[in-house]
Amino acid sequence: MALQAATSFLPSALSARKEGAAKDSAFFGVRLADGLKLDATSLGLRTKRVNTSSVAIRAQAAAVSAPTATPASPAGKKTVRTGNAIITGASSGLGLATAKALAESGKWHVIMACRDYLKTARAARAAGMPKGSYTIVHLDLASLDSVRQFVKNVRQLDMPIDVVVCNAAVYQPTAKEPSFTADGFEMSVGVNHLGHFLLARELLEDLKASDYPSKRLIIVGSITGNTNTLAGNVPPKANLGDLRGLAAGLNGVGSAAMIDGAEFDGAKAYKDSKVCNMLTMQEFHRRYHEETGVTFASLYPGCIATTGLFREHIPLFRLLFPPFQKYITKGYVSEEEAGKRLAQVVSEPSLTKSGVYWSWNKNSASFENQLSEEASDTEKARKVWELSEKLVGLA
């Protein structure tokens, strides 16, 4: 019965998507113009025009308390030093909730890798994250230059990098036409997959160099990219096809903006990007786990139906989606709970197994979940890796 109610909701949801809707670009954040950044010492009160690379570093001065090796406890037992975790897209939703959970544990310093400094600073303060427990560093995943600059800036912080969480994402279900990143890639795959692919590849070196006992690279996946689930069978379904669009550069000019080479569909582009995220995690595991000791993991944190991810969806969807997930599918999870789940994947000593796609059951206990056939296709993972390397300039 629940399913019946659910599927009767489907056509309207889908036709509404096709009709399109006004973009809610002012959602929550206050965006600064390019090159305009906050003077971090004034904590959000003044703006001035400065060079992006210097501001990211200067921003640290206000927020960082450099983590040091923790001295022996009074009992003489040696404790592990504060860990440093980079979280992309920590300005809202899952990323913010995870940053908060880690910061409040007192065991982590969080590097909030975000495209909007002011929004992130406000969000961290509003969430009550302890002062000195986080550092905000600018990162726009829609620009490979920004990713490279971010890596340089983070290295200048002179902190070991112990965990990297690739969490940021965009979802454009109502877009009629594709939009593109600075490098000309379709936006959803460009940000969610290619930006993170370059970031993760660059930071692997830093993870390798860290002396932290459990180093981890986590890429957030989703149930909707897995066609072995009911949620993954809601059209449009993820399908990377023969990767012809990715091979041609995803630029929509003389080639398709979609990975499978088909006509643009924003919802499908998002789901395809999540398949790429999950394939990438496994390919990292196969190539680098033994050599580096880094744990590579992905996860589905639950349906966090209230986050900004749905900001571009039509208002009716945003109104009905949370109760639909709460009372019908029962897949709903709060931002706080989802944040605790991702924080577990970052720091729980029991979750060190590499190559795993984590999920949680009704009692919020973690378990190793099965990926769909496509999301666990080793040959496809290799091809996505190789094509992505070329697109981001690593091969």
Residues identified as active-site? 270
DSSP per-residue string spanning 238-254? P--TT-HHHHTTS-SSS
CB of 200 to ligand NDP, least distance (A): 13
- Count of residues engaged in binding ligand NDP, rule: CB under 6 A: 31
**Residue 268 in contact with ligand NDP, rule: CB under 6 A:** no
**Kind of pairing between the strands at 47-49 and 83-88:** unpaired
Please give the structure tokens belonging to residue 337: 């709970």
The residue within the footprint of ligand NDP, chosen from 59, 67, 84, 89 (CB under 6 A), is: 89
Classify each residue of 120-149 as buried b or exposed e, where b means 16 or more C-beta atoms within 10 Å of its C-beta. bbbbbeebebeeebbbbbbbbbbbbebbeb
Start-to-end CA span in the chain (Å): 52
Q: Which is nearer to ligand NDP, 67 or 221 (CB)?
A: 221
Q: Which is nearer to ligand NDP, 303 or 387 (CB)?
A: 303
Phi (first) and psi of residue 237, to 5 degrees: -85, 150
Q: Which is nearer to ligand PMR, 94 or 294 (CB)?
A: 94
Does the N-terminal peptide bond of residue 11 adopt cis geometry, omega within 30 degrees of 0? no
Which of the ranges 4-12, 155-163, 239-247, 303-311 carries the binding residues for ligand NDP, by CB under 6 A? 303-311
- The item of ligand PMR, ligand NDP, none sharing an interface with residue 329, based on CB under 5 to 8 Å by kind, is ligand PMR
Residue whose pair of structure tokens reads 């908060």 in the numeric block: 100
Cα separation, 157 vs 165, in Å, equals 18
**Residue 174 in contact with ligand PMR, rule: CB under 6 A:** no
- Count of residues engaged in binding ligand PMR, rule: CB under 6 A: 19
The residue within the footprint of ligand NDP, chosen from 251, 280, 307, 359 (CB under 6 A), is: 307
Q: x/- contact string, 143-172, with ligand PMR (CB under 6 A)?
A: ----------------------------x-
**Residue 298 in contact with ligand NDP, rule: CB under 6 A:** no
- The item of ligand PMR, ligand NDP, none sharing an interface with residue 273, based on CB under 5 to 8 Å by kind, is none
- The item of ligand NDP, ligand PMR, none sharing an interface with residue 249, based on CB under 5 to 8 Å by kind, is none
The residue within the footprint of ligand PMR, chosen from 117, 197, 270, 360 (CB under 6 A), is: 270
Answer for the pair 173, 270: CB distance below 8 angstroms, yes or no. yes
DSSP per-residue string spanning 375-390? GG-HHHHHHHHHHHHH
Footprint (CB under 6 A) of ligand NDP, residues 189-228: 191, 220, 222
**Residue 144 in contact with ligand NDP, rule: CB under 6 A:** no
The residue among 178, 197, 196 whose CA lies nearest residue 257 is: 178
**Residue 16 in contact with ligand PMR, rule: CB under 6 A:** no
Q: x/- contact string, 14-33, with ligand NDP (CB under 6 A)?
A: ---------------x----
The residue among 14, 360, 374, 346 whose CA lies nearest residue 173 is: 14
- The item of ligand PMR, ligand NDP, none sharing an interface with residue 89, based on CB under 5 to 8 Å by kind, is ligand NDP
Answer for the pair 236, 267: CB distance below 8 angstroms, yes or no. yes
**Residue 6 in contact with ligand PMR, rule: CB under 6 A:** yes
Please give the structure tokens belonging to residue 260: 């499978």
**Residue 116 in contact with ligand NDP, rule: CB under 6 A:** yes
Cα separation, 247 vs 108, in Å, equals 39
**Residue 10 in contact with ligand PMR, rule: CB under 6 A:** yes
Helix (H, G, I), strand (E, B) or coil at 211: coil
Cα separation, 48 vs 39, in Å, equals 7
Please give the structure tokens belonging to residue 264: 């643009």
List Cα–Cα distances, 47 to 37, 44, 55, 59, in angstroms: 6, 8, 11, 12
Q: Which residues bind ligand NDP (CB under 6 A)?
A: 29, 88-89, 91-95, 114-116, 119, 139-142, 167-170, 191, 220, 222, 300-301, 303-305, 307-309
Q: Which residues bind ligand PMR (CB under 6 A)?
A: 6-7, 9-10, 13, 171, 173, 222-224, 230-231, 234, 267, 270-271, 303, 329, 331
